[in-house]
Copies of this chain bind each other. A is one copy, B any other.
Amino acid sequence: MSGNENKNKFVYFFGDKGAEGNASMKDLLGGKGANLAEMSSLGVPVPPGFTISTEACALYQKDKKTLDKIWGEVLNNLSRLEKVTGKKFGSESENPAPLLVSVRSGAAISMPGMMDTILNVGLNDSTVQVLASLTQNRRFAYDAYRRLIQMFGDVVMGVEHALFENILEQARETRGVEYDYQLLPEDLELVISKYKELVKKETGKEFPQDVMVQLRMAVEAVFNSWNNERAIAYRKIHNITGLKGTAVNVQSMVFGNMGDDSGTGVCFTRSPSTGENKFYGEFLVNAQGEDVVAGIRTPEPVEKLKEKMPLIYEELVSIARKLESHFRDMQDIEFTIENGKLFILQSRTGKRTAAAALKIAIDMVNEELISKEEAVLRVQPEQLDQLLHKQFDRVALEKARALARGLPASPGAAVGRIVFDAETAVEKAKEGEKVILVRTETSPEDISGMSAASGILTSRGGMTSHAAVVARGMGKCCVAGCQDAAINEDEKTLKFSSDPEGRVFKEGDFLSIDGSTGRVYEGELPTVDPELTGDFKTLMEWADSFRRLNVRTNADTPHDSKRAVEFGAEGIGLCRTEHMFFEGKRIVAVREMILAETPEEREKALNKILPFQRDDFVGIFMAMEDRPVTIRLLDPPLHEFLPSTEHEIKEVASEMNVSEQKLRSKVEALKEFNPMLGHRGCRLGITFPEITRMQSRAIFEAALIASEKLGRQVKPEIMVPLVGNVNEFVNQKKVIDETADAVFREKGKSIPYLVGTMIEVPRAALTADEIAQEAEFFSFGTNDLTQMTMGFSRDDAGKFLPHYIESGILHADPFATLDTNGVGKLVEMGVKLGRKSRPNLKVGICGEHGGDPASIEFCHKAGLDYVSCSPFRVPIARLAAAQAALKEK
């Protein structure tokens, strides 16, 4: 209750199975302080301490003398702490033992950039000796002391961190050891004296031996860190306002290495890997957390504690139950036993595998611990991906050593023989071989090979390169941009610069690639098939009942369409037609169309493509039945359909029976400086209306055929790409409508259809009111919209984007997660202006972002009708859409 607030109270005690604060007082006590108070109130034995409130910090910012005014209250609480712990701050004897405390900052919102933690406050040249003798462990005591000096020197006194590390490194070198824990007590004594000299030299002041001065300086440093440059920048960037300041938590230190009645460990209230409702964990006797991290000793399963300290075990289990039912989620608990007394250092929601997340959420609903809404909110959408794809066997994976690591471009595990070109991939696949297609980068001509392969490995290109996008669309495992892979496509060899053995892989050798982690392995690793258990189905049904957004899929083939429907897709949001142009014989006709010199010649070539396109669409309509199918007219620049190298030109020219010269000069003429902004999208359909006419005809004829076969009407929605100006749309809509009229007249029957547009050019979003007067639906093509709004070429951004993300200029890859501040603003404008002209305008999104949970939440808020994503992301999108709706409530 914030009713607990008291104008004259600035310090809140916790511990001794009670607390003056509670979880609701985050504003006043910070997140950490409120949580410690909550646990104390629950009767959980946290190491006692007290929290100096954020209000004190706020007053301090106005007037530094605030610290004087509240110091009496701090000392009262320190006395209380001494009483509760039976120790004394600065005690130079073993009885009472010296009290050591940690000093930590903690605002209502966790905030990097502020001072974090100083441990072991209360140690000085005298108390350290007492600690050594109490613990019978000089190494431990000196190490604790040198840590205090280092942390205090760095964050309170401003001595550069690296200077301390230099001294430590020197000590390790002198002793000839690799790790800090290998230093002897005498080494650490020397380090301590050098640390003290360093502090003196750098600051002109001694490291304070007076423990009260330590405490006061530490508290002051926390207050000051609230307004340091980094913290201010962080709040600005993340738009954090309205906070009073940071609280300061002063908490007694406890040590698990005080003897055989001491120890430390970690436990989970349920299994984090399977979700089984079973207490689980490990511990070490007479040790501190670090020993676990350093890997010096192997921890024991927590069940052993039952034998060694049965009472403590019982207490721990009961606390774990209490914490789980209090926080209503599986807890990850850190505990320390100091001289036979159990302390809970931390309890937080435990991380878990996807399978565990599902099981725990559903079990907890069955246990009536949480509601269905909460269960749906508990599972991270991204995690579902683990459940949908083949994975490597976990045990085998732990033993395997990766040859190299690329980008996890499309999840799943794939094993197969190496091939270096698409044709061989197709051939070998026909022979029943599993193959991994290895290419420097892929191009649209590789589509059939990619489709035939079990997995794809490229050495160039990012998360949105051709290989990555197409593979995700196919649900095919892909590792992209594996820079360590040296691929020689001519000689058909593959080497990894990261491979110490420098092996040379040839066509036919086995490779295993993990598209979920980006790792590449030699040979054949065993795989495990995905299992869409009852838990999965149950949770998805709950999710569906909560979401408002519809979820469609991006699919270009009947096969993908069927799979997407199985995954719950409610329609197709983007059916690209260009992939269809590459298959088999039709590419020849496509090239004839491009080489045509008159509209008549072009039409003749297009007439050859028409039956293929029609069959494609019939297949897709049949798969989708009466679900809406949004088909995008031809989008890429025509040069993508022509060969590019001299060698290919020769080959294709002879295939097509045209002169190399003619083909070469067409290739030359179609070259563009910036093809992304060139002659593509509706610009093609406007300059060559024959193309739009052929595609529309194929769609309408297919729709009539499929409707007849199905006995119900299919729902074609024709989408004009790259519109930036309403006049472009009007031009294309006219061609489409005229074609519809003609087909319906010829066939003597008709079918309803919609004509809409992609919104992917910034100008389209800016003039959405004009466009919506003519267009019946919008679909935000956020891939291109991001490229143009940010001025980033997706194919070239690799030269600076990684640096941008590392250095914090960007917080995320804008091609993976929608840039809501910039691109999102255009989406919002587009929706608002569009609906102003046409209130019932159907609006969706079909870029890569349609499968990204954060972006889906944005789409929900922006009022979109649907998102569309690759088949394998449909469940993720369904869950993310449900969470967005639930969060809004």
Chain A interface residues (CB < 8 Å from chain B): 237, 672-679, 683, 686-687, 722, 724-725, 727-728, 731, 760-763, 766-767, 770, 784, 787-793, 795-797, 799-800, 803-804, 807-810, 819, 821-823, 825-826
Contact = CB atoms under 8 A, between A and B. Distances in A.
A223 to B, nearest CB: 26
Q: How many copies does the complex hold?
A: 2
Given A679-B799, A731-B809, A672 B763 contact: no
Contact of A796 (B672, B763, B809): B672
A763 to B, nearest CB: 4
Q: Which 8 A-B pairs have the closest CB atoms?
A: A677-B793, A674-B793, A763-B822, A678-B796, A673-B795, A761-B791, A679-B799, A727-B809
A163 B795 CA distance: 55
Contact of A687 (B762, B792, B799): B799
A787 B678 CA distance: 10
A685 to B, nearest CB: 11
B796 A724 contact: no
Nearest to A673: B795
Nearest to A819: B763
B800 A679 contact: yes
Contacts of A797: 678
Nearest to A671: B796
Contact of A674 (B676, B808, B810): B676
Contacts of A687: 799-800, 803
Given A674-B674, A727-B809, A763 B823 contact: yes
Contact of A788 (B725, B791, B825): B791
B767 A822 contact: yes
Contacts of A674: 674-677, 793, 795-796
Contacts of A826: 762, 766
A825 B766 contact: yes
A760 B788 CA distance: 11
A674 B808 CA distance: 25
A170 to B, nearest CB: 28
Contacts of A683: 799-800
Contacts of A760: 791
Contacts of A767: 821-822, 825
Contacts of A686: 800, 803-804, 807, 809
A788 B762 contact: yes
A784 B787 CA distance: 13
Given A677-B792, A761-B790, A763-B791, A724 B822 contact: yes
Given A761-B790, A762-B826, 19 more contacts: A237-B727, A672-B796, A674-B675, A674-B796, A675-B796, A677-B677, A677-B796, A686-B803, A686-B807, A687-B800, A725-B809, A727-B808, A731-B809, A761-B789, A763-B819, A766-B822, A766-B825, A767-B822, A788-B791
Contacts of A676: 673-674, 677, 793
A789 B763 contact: yes
Of A762, A767, A770, A789, most B-chain CB atoms within 10 Å:
A762
A672 B793 CA distance: 9
A822 to B, nearest CB: 4
A760 B789 CA distance: 10
Given A687-B803, A799-B679, A823-B763, A809 B728 contact: yes
Given A673-B796, A677-B796, A799-B678, A789 B766 contact: yes
Contacts of A822: 724-725, 762-763, 766-767
A836 to B, nearest CB: 14
A793 B673 contact: yes
A468 to B, nearest CB: 15
Contacts of A803: 686-687
A791 B677 contact: yes
A797 B678 CA distance: 6
Contacts of A792: 677
